[in-house]
Structure 1
Amino acid sequence: MTAPDDGAPLAMPGDGDPGRSPGEAFEHLWTPYRMAYIRGVGRATGAHDCPFCLIPQQDDEEGLVVARGRTVFAVLNLYPYNAGHLMVVPYRHVPDYTDLTADEVAEMGSFTQTAMRVVRSVSGAHGFNIGMNQGSVAGAGIADHLHQHAVPRWGGDTNFMPVIGLTRVLPQVLRETRALLAANWPAGDAGED
């Protein structure tokens, strides 16, 4: 959309439509499951209620665990950016990458490689965003328990929905995604194939 040459304000779709007030151009897609995240329901307040400490105590399906290693586990993100978005998490409750042991660093790397291979094989991902936010100031939602994100990406996956609609479309229920990834995760305690 371009501004009119006469300097008039830019008209948004829906402005002037019967039954709509100016600025009410956006359509709404309801994602009520996100409200728990927005309100902080289940957000960790200490090691006793840290979700990353509690998840390993649950069965794999309930906890959305894809694979378990000796020092780390792979789990689907409950609020994914894209389908197949998972995290590699150490069992130990440590906040910083520098707190990991050499064994934990090695297994985290191995699990990340395996996650990429598995997600590519089942979904044809074209690329990945791999990373961790260290500390709440850097964007970590659960800053007290280190976790690394592995977010699959596809050419054109940033379409009008997240850009214009501020909404992500996930084509599969999390439990189905977990089952698919777990079934294709190679056997072995270090995530290697």
Structure 2
Amino acid sequence: MDQIFAPWRIDWVERDGDESDADGAGECPFCSLPDSEDDRESRIVARSDHAFVLLNNYPYNPGHAMVIPYRHTGSWSDLTDAELLDHAKLKTRTLDALDDALSPDAANAGENLGGGPSGGSIDDHLHTHVVPRWGGDTNFMPVVSDTKVIVEALDDTYERLHEAFAAQSGATTGGETDAVSFEDDREYDDDGPA
């Protein structure tokens, strides 16, 4: 048996198992996490008017984040123009925060759309994965042992990203357990932020 030491995962293992809605089908975590009183514990690192940034509990690389609209829908066409623009702006802020905090060489961004065949574990609440990448960030481990090594604890990544988001224009920070908030009032033109 292969073993990887990951003590930070105990919080996930010991989480409250009674997280179901009235019909017992289970509540969407992307709907319930934003209502939590502790953003840090929920791993919500930033919020805007219509979306939030959540660190992935099972990251492909350190800094693997998801930009998620508050509205529960599996279809982009259900979102308003304001929700779509806000999501795009928050994705841009996420890429900027990752650059400032982790200095990756590149990034992957994408969605799993359409349910089971797309590979997503939560297919009825759309979200964008943003994964920082470095040259050589994969090695022999995934090839010969089907094992991915994550080199930084989620709490440490959270701290670094929180600080990077907080340094951005328009950012406000609340208490120690609050995500960085944005009411995006930046003006945009054809060349980007004005």
Q: Which residue of 1 aligns with 2:50?
A: 71
Q: Which residue of 1 aligns with 2:174?
A: none
CA pair 138-31 structure 1, distance change in 2 beyond 3 A: farther
Matches within 5 A, 1:120-135: 120-135=99-114
CA pair 143-171 structure 1, distance change in 2 beyond 3 A: same
2:60 aligned with 1:81, yes or no? yes
CA pair 47-63 structure 1, distance change in 2 beyond 3 A: farther
* Structure 1 residue 43: Cα displacement: 9.4
Task: Measure the CA separation in 1 of the matches of 2:41 and 2:148.
Answer: 23
Q: Which residue of 1 aligns with 2:3?
A: 29
- Tell me if structure 1 keeps the 8 A contact 2:109–2:128: yes
Q: Which residue of 2 aligns with 1:53?
A: 31
Whose strand fraction is larger, Structure 1's or Structure 2's?
A: 2
Q: Which residue of 1 aligns with 2:134?
A: 154
Q: What 5-or-longer segments of structure 1 have no aligned partner?
A: 1-26
Q: Which residue of 2 aligns with 1:10?
A: none
Which sits farther off after the overlay, 60-69 or 132-141? 132-141
Task: Measure the CA separation in 2 of the matches of 1:114 and 1:106.
Answer: 12
Aligned-residue RMSD, C-alpha: 2.7
Count of aligned residue pairs for this structure pair: 163
Q: Which residue of 1 aligns with 2:144?
A: 164
Percent of aligned pairs with the same amino acid: 38
- Tell me if structure 1 keeps the 8 A contact 2:19–2:26: no
Q: What 5-or-longer segments of structure 2 have no aligned partner?
A: 172-181, 187-192
- Tell me if structure 2 keeps the 8 A contact 1:44–1:142: no
CA deviation digits over 1:83-116, x for unaligned, max 9?
A: 0000000011111122211111111111111111
CA pair 152-44 structure 1, distance change in 2 beyond 3 A: farther
Task: Measure the CA separation in 2 of the matches of 1:191 and 1:120.
Answer: 22
Q: Which residue of 1 aligns with 2:183?
A: 189
Structure number with larger C-alpha Rg: 1
